[in-house]
Amino acid sequence: MQTSPTLYRIGRVLLASLFVISGLLKITAFSGMVGYMSSLGIPFATFAVLVTILVEVGGGLAIMTGWNARPAALVVALFTVGATLAAHRFWQADPAGVQNQLNHFLKNISIIGALLMLAAVDTDAKK
């Protein structure tokens, strides 16, 4: 099978940018994120926000640069599963919010799929 290292790198950077940017925005709105996580019923919300920032920024940068991209993709995928189940519970949303939460849920399922495909690929930043 023929592959394109250039397309792979571009895709990796685009996928990772979602997490890096999201994590950086959480830093700038830290107290608001703690409040939001508390409203979702997340225990130890301050600690959860710190872990979220670490996973999003750290994992995102690892994926973006290709440094340990495969294990980073697995960690970020597992994180995204948890975040999806915690924050996008469309089955519990009020009727006006069901479609919005379902869209976010399905978007995250697709992102998890892309992260798993990245973890399955045997390539790195050196190629």
- Residues 59-101: pLDDT tens digits? 999 999 999 999 999 999 999 999 999 998 888 889 998 999 9
Evaluate if residue 1 carries a pLDDT over 70. no
Lowest mean pLDDT among 2-11, 52-61, 94-103: 2-11
pTM: 0.89
End-to-end Cα separation, the chain, in angstroms: 16
What is the percentage of the chain residues whose pLDDT exceeds 70?
94
- In the 8-state DSSP scheme, what is residue 123? -
Residues 15 and 118: beta-carbon distance below 8 Å = yes
Residues 12 and 66: beta-carbon distance below 8 Å = yes
In the three-class reduction of DSSP (H, G, I as helix; E, B as strand; rest coil), residue 71 is classed as helix
Output the six-digit token pair for 74. Answer: 């697995």
Evaluate if residue 18 carries a pLDDT over 50. yes
Mean pLDDT computed over 20-24 = 97
The pLDDT value recorded for residue 127 is 46
Evaluate if residue 125 carries a pLDDT over 60. no
